[in-house]
Structure 1
């Protein structure tokens, strides 16, 4: 005859999701290389933006009066709040950091220990996705906010800076900030599927950087495909003034692309570990 365990003795409690999130956070914060990567990326992105603004500040006197007036009236300062070069650097770096968040465990074999301790693989990957997204969001908010404040402070020296209340300014900051967590989750999803460092890095570069360049505005199908990429969506959200193109699209469509990429990458990251053996 068997007896039920008294007061829960002999029954191992299931890990709560918040416990899994806490465990993944401990893993991430304990890796010095992760914070070095975030730090170097932040410095590079802010430096790109500040450097562009400082270049405008330095050569402002060489502009004609009409050119200066057009610069201010058109809100060109918003383009320098977060430049295309800075966006590319951040996208590539966050994609790599997100990928390494999972590839590191597969390469060292610690993922076996994790899944042995918590057989609910989807819960583990969901917790990892939450942590990567949260850290990426905080990072993106800091970098985008710091870039805006610094660039506009530099341009204020020539009375060309814009406040956050200027039309479109908040959208530039939010779109640039959210680019970080989305790319991080995309990188993690690619890493979960491929599970090899070099192949994952190549795939991340292709998905994040190469595809937006390949798809041009020359043909309708190519324009639509390009609009579905993260970089072109960011470009649409931060653009200043009317866009001259044969195939225009809305900011609402660009925000939708952000959401679809984030949701698809999250689902892929969570379900891939369940369907494949580690």
Structure 2
């Protein structure tokens, strides 16, 4: 009499929520992450609150006409999140996003991950989802702290504004969403390049050098510049936008934010499917 051996049961396919939970645990376990986010927050707040405090300190040195026009000219909103703070946040979040994927390639742990979950695209999609959600929350908290902190300082001189002031909510949201856009950009570059130093150079080039090199003086230069996250942020946070020769719309700037975030996540997912470990 012969007995047939039962075939081993196939392991259930990993669900996307399981993958995101695993990525969240992985990020939480990295000791460098709290330090990186904390340092970034302190640097950004130092630029924003420091600028507001400088205005507070030298308020009486302004002429009566300047003080009277301070709110009307939109200066409080410019203090809410200044360009220096935005650049620091972009570079820091871009590096954090790149590190989220490059660190696994440099240590070789990505092989273990793909051995456990062969669906590479799903793994990268989960990484992008967790990174995007985490940096969005971080950006919202940092933008809110900057806005309310700067306006409280200016409010001591009667020059602060509230969130209901025209343009205030737009500036807060644009500054907050700059964080996930920058992080996902670094993440996509990390998935493409996979080398730490080269990825960081590419991230700095895309997020910082290109927006500075491209100007609004020529049509094609302006068009390319308007397609970059930093110039989109500048368009959104301008209190009283006066269109130059090659001006563009607020809706166009929001579109740039959305396209960069979505395309960056898609690039990371597609390239990991088409390349070896």
Q: TM-score, normalised by structure 1?
A: 0.97
Partner of 1:210: 209
Q: Is the 8 A contact 2:235 2:241 kept in 1?
A: no
Any gaps of 5 or more consecutive residues in structure 1?
Answer: none
Query: 2:47–2:82: 8 Å Cα contact kept in structure 1?
Result: yes
Q: How many residues align?
A: 275
Q: Which residue of 2 aligns with 1:250?
A: 249
Alpha-carbon shift at residue 112 of structure 1 (Å):
0.1
Partner of 2:276: 277
| Distance apart, 1:10 and its partner CA | 2.1
Q: Which residue of 1 aligns with 2:113?
A: 114
**Residues 215-263 of structure 1 deviation map (CA, whole Å, 9 limit, x = unaligned):** 1011111111111111000000000113252111110000000011111
* Counterparts of 2:108 and 2:31, CA distance in 1: 19
Q: 1:64 to 1:27 in 2, by over 3 A?
A: same
When residues 199 and 2 of structure 1 are mapped into structure 2, their CA distance, relative to the original with a 3 A threshold, is: farther
Map of 1:232 onto structure 2: 231
The alpha carbon displacement at 1:34 in A equals 1.1
Shift in alpha-carbon separation, 1:116–1:218, aligned structure 2, 3 A: same
1:65-144 equivalence runs, <5 A = 65-144=64-143
Q: How far, CA to CA, are the matches of 2:72 and 2:15 in structure 1?
A: 54
Could you list the per-position Cα deviations for residues 187-210 of structure 1 after superposition, in whole angstroms to 9, with x for gaps in the alignment?
000000000000000000000001
Q: In the TM superposition, what are the counterparts of 1:158-173 in structure 2 within 5 Å?
A: 158-173=157-172
Gaps of 5+ in 2: none
Distance in 2 (CA, whole Å) between partners of 1:209 and 1:187 is 12
Q: Distance in 2 between matches of 1:230 and 1:4?
A: 57
What is the Cα-based RMSD across aligned positions, in Å? Answer: 1.2
Q: Distance in 1 between matches of 2:223 and 2:100?
A: 32
Show CA shifts across 1:72-105 (max 9, x none): 2122100000000000000000000000000010
> Partners of 1:220 and 1:87 in 2: how far apart?
25
Runs of 4+, deviation exceeding 6 Å: 1-4
1:196 matched to which residue of 2? 195
Q: In 2, distance between residues paired with 1:158 and 1:255?
A: 33
